Amino acid sequence: MEDGNKFPMKEKNIIYFDNAATTFKPYRVINKMNDYYLEYNANSHRGDYDISFKVDDEIDYTRDLVKMFINAKRKEEIIFTKNTTDSLNMVVFGYFLNHLKKDDEVILSSSEHASNILPWLILSVKKGIKVVFVDSTLEKLSIRDIEEKISNNTKVIELAHKKGILVVVDAAQSAPHIKIDVTDLDVDFLAFSAHKMCGPTGVGILYGKYSLLNKMIPFEFGGGMNLTYNDSSLKLLDVPYRFEAGTSNLAGIIGFSETINFLNEIGMDNIEKHEKYLRKYLIKELEKIPYIKIYNKNCEGSIVIINMDGILSGDLGLYLNTKNICVRSGKHCAKMGDNKEDTVRISLYFYNTYEEIDYLIKVLKNKKEIEEFSK
């Protein structure tokens, strides 16, 4: 592996299995951000001089890369935000607040992240819409339940695009792991975060169909998003710039271009394939430990959720920390999921190894030591 492709955090004495929370960044992404601060530190769309033009070019380059990465039809359909949460709030309060009316229905999975439930619940208070939750079993959606809960009043649904219903996708946990094609999927809005896919923190992406973005109203106003204004009128810039008020995380957006190039060089299909092998191996080894309960054995993705008999998930997480293993314990920002227990989440990424899994399994076999630790 070339030096730029290496991860400084992988050189630490830790085993990192909390990739669903955030991921490590390769040197090349960090260096790209440093180049901005060291070589052309200027603002975007605000200077008539070379280094400002350079910033503009780099931001446009990232926007075009994101467009190709998710196969959007035009780069104007790509909006830079702070994170997935920011993107989803922009959709809910910039578009649906103005297009839904009382008693319209929104169908969601109860296993969604808080960022894709709470804005809709707030909208139900503001507008009187009805939020309908789809059943899930072991954190997998029931397609039959979705079909049964679609009614003539349903206006937004997470997975179906039949009957003219708009589709909003939270791709924070899929964009890092699988190839996403928004044109093939025909989704209306899609959100994800750079930091969960080897990119900088503070950078999110909102994709929206151009026709819908033209109907979306900004809920942040200020510099960089207006064409002209006076005391009685305001004319906004075109999409997407009208949704990017103020100075963005320029270094992060510029660094994200290197992230996309990095992932493209590896290949999203290769990432998905490798993670499937890792997860299958992890499940197989966990099944050999009789006091380990696996909650989502047959699910897709790179996450494995477990508990140890007689041990609180928080205690297990803290014990693993003493062995330099990083995991997440709790409800994982999905407090309405079908699993009501606190659990330990092991989330993999392509830079994890079989040897790291072997070490985790070896540590989990120390039940007596774990019981003593948790007393």
Relative to beta strand 105-109, strand 226-229 is unpaired
CA–CA dist 196, 172 (Å, integer): 7
pLDDT, tens digit, for every residue of 124-151?
Answer: 999 999 998 886 655 556 666 667 777 7
CA–CA dist 251, 55 (Å, integer): 9
pLDDT grade for 299, boundaries at 50, 70 and 90:
confident
The pair of structure tokens assigned to 258 is: 């290197």
| Stretch 202-210: mean pLDDT | 98
Beta bridge partners of 124: none
pLDDT grade for 158, boundaries at 50, 70 and 90:
very low
CA–CA dist 24, 273 (Å, integer): 20
Angle at the Cα of 361 (from 357 to 366), degrees rounded to 5?
A: 150
pLDDT, tens digit, for every residue of 14-63?
Answer: 999 999 999 999 999 999 999 999 999 999 987 899 999 999 999 999 99
For the ranges 67-81, 106-120, 271-285, 343-357, the lowest mean pLDDT is seen at 106-120
What single-letter DSSP state applies at residue 311?
A: B
CA–CA dist 369, 287 (Å, integer): 20
**Strands annotated E in 158-203:** 166-170, 189-193
- pLDDT confidence of residue 92: 96
- pLDDT confidence of residue 365: 97
The pair of structure tokens assigned to 208 is: 């929206």
Count of other CB atoms within 10 angstroms of residue 159: 13
- Cα 230 from chain centroid (whole Å): 39
Backbone angles phi, psi at 142, to 5 degrees: -95, 105
Q: How far is CA 320 from CA 196, 237, 282, 302, 327, in A?
A: 22, 51, 16, 19, 8
Structural domains of the chain, with CATH:
3-25+267-374 (3.90.1150.10), 40-265 (3.40.640.10)
- pLDDT confidence of residue 160: 60
Task: Find out whether 87 and 172 touch, Cβ atoms under 8 Å.
Answer: no
The pair of structure tokens assigned to 93 is: 């309060």
CA–CA dist 109, 186 (Å, integer): 19
Count of other CB atoms within 10 angstroms of residue 141: 17
Q: How would DSSP label each residue in 240-290?
A: TGGG--S---HHHHHHHHHHHHHHHHH-HHHHHHHHHHHHHHHHHHHTTST
Helical pair 354-364 and 268-286, crossing angle rounded to 10 deg: 20
The pair of structure tokens assigned to 323 is: 């062995």
- Burial class of residue 157 in the structure, from the number of CB atoms within 10 Å of its CB (0-12 exposed, 13-18 middle, 19+ buried): buried
Q: Tokens 């960090």 appear where?
A: 30
Q: Is 326 a catalytic residue?
A: no
- pLDDT confidence of residue 332: 67
pLDDT at 154 over 70: no
